[in-house]
Amino acid sequence: MATNRWRHTRGDNDRVCRCLACLLLALLLTGGSTGPHKGQWGSSMHIRDDACAIVAVRGTCKAIQVGTRIQRYSLLRAGNPTAETAIIDLGGPGGSVLAQGDNAARFRTAHPGLGDRFNLLFLEEPWVINSVGDSCDAALRTYYRTVRNRPERGASAGTRLVHDCDLGQAHGHWGFSPNFYPVFLTEIERRESLRVNAFAGFSFGSVRLSYLSGRSFDWVVLARPFPVGVTGTALVEARSRLLNRLSIDVLPGRKAVGLSRGTASSRFDSYSALIELGYLDDDRLTDVAARFGGEVTHNLSHQLWQRYGQDSVSPGILAIFDETCQVLGPWPRPLKRMTSVADALAAWHLPCRPARRQVPRLPHMARFCVVTSPTDSVTPQNLVRQQFEDRKAVWVVSHRRSHHSMDRVDECFESIGVRGAS
């Protein structure tokens, strides 16, 4: 077992938030400015070079061009030369595997055996290098202010956001799409002389796996996977139950009861902060929950909604809408007055209301292992089992609450014969 464990980097206000969201990431993306990247690409002959330079990276970066589209990626070659390659998807949407620390290298350090036997391929989400137009930026700011202060007007603000930011299109401007993800992968294989035959995905990585339904994999490991095929309504109901349980378990009684009190914006922040608690590392959850309220609640809410600066929202949230809306379809409309965590979850995905759900399919997997947790409030274990029940899988159960825990992932690798994973 590796002592230097790689793990996701989302946490409370004392940590850099997830792949996917706080000021540090925003500053990386803007070069220290006060808004999202709005630059334009230069001439086409320099696009691939610009792609790795226009937004700061930590670690190795390469880029390919397919038509007018650019895909950044990191490829860590195996210690022993081979064409066999594993895609490593660290989750999302809304994260940067290249701009937010050297996550690729940290993953390999935590799993040295895996890195010796397989090339490790990490793909960067499109939003990181795509420019944000003024109308989209304004619509994103308006959407956030509306759902926070006037939730009864959130649906119309969400509709404007979909239009002005070109969300939910087949080309996947902000997030990955099932139309282009396999095309990029095939081109990377050709360019790098690889044979992609394995996949390790965390959280939303299970959805990216479904984008490759036309392929066959020797082995697949999914950790706390998004329940591919579930509807938005079912996910809201299941997550709400787990989050209500979380509030009872970790928040002092007075604070748990007080979630539904106060102004519209304070209720919005309280319920958003409760959702964010599900991402905190287990060793910090107790401490943060004890200080829940006031500035702590405000900061947790900002982390969930990827706020930075005075009135800005990271374009990473556009990737969340772009991908989740397509696989979940319409979500329930929140009440006019936000009175529950279910309302906050629904408000989070209001732009999904007009989306047409695309039912994903999983590829053939010769060996398959899944890590779940009964207390994970982001990917409910019962839904994960329901959605994968027709697959012959090895199931490994963790009792760590944090959605970003890597607990028992090594056992998953070992259970399907991928020896020396860490």
Q: Which residues lie across from 65 on neighbouring strands?
A: 70
d(CA 50, CA 324): 29
d(CA 235, CA 287): 28
Of the candidates 268, 234, 200, the one whose C-alpha atom is nearest the C-alpha of residue 379 is: 234
pLDDT average, residue stretch 100-121: 90
pLDDT digits over 148-202, tens only? 999 889 889 999 999 999 997 767 789 999 999 999 999 999 999 999 999 999 9
pLDDT digits over 370-399, tens only? 999 999 999 999 999 999 988 899 999 999
Q: 271 in helix, strand or coil?
A: helix
Of the candidates 44, 208, 214, the one whose C-alpha atom is nearest the C-alpha of residue 121 is: 208
Q: What is the model's pLDDT at position 53?
A: 83
Q: What is the model's pLDDT at position 255?
A: 63
d(CA 378, CA 112): 28
| Percent of the chain residues past pLDDT 70, beyond the cut | 84
Domains of the chain: 23-130+171-229+358-415 (3.40.50.1820), 134-167+231-352 (no CATH)
pLDDT digits over 308-335, tens only? 887 789 999 999 999 998 888 777 776 6
Whole-number Cα distances in Å, 336 to 112, 121, 151: 52, 45, 6
The model carries a pTM of 0.88
Is pLDDT of 42 > 90? no
C-beta atoms surrounding 309 within 10 Å: 15
The b/e string for 365-397 (b: 16+ C-beta within 10 A; e otherwise) is bebbbbbbbebbbbbbbebbeebbeeeebeebe
Is pLDDT of 119 > 90? yes
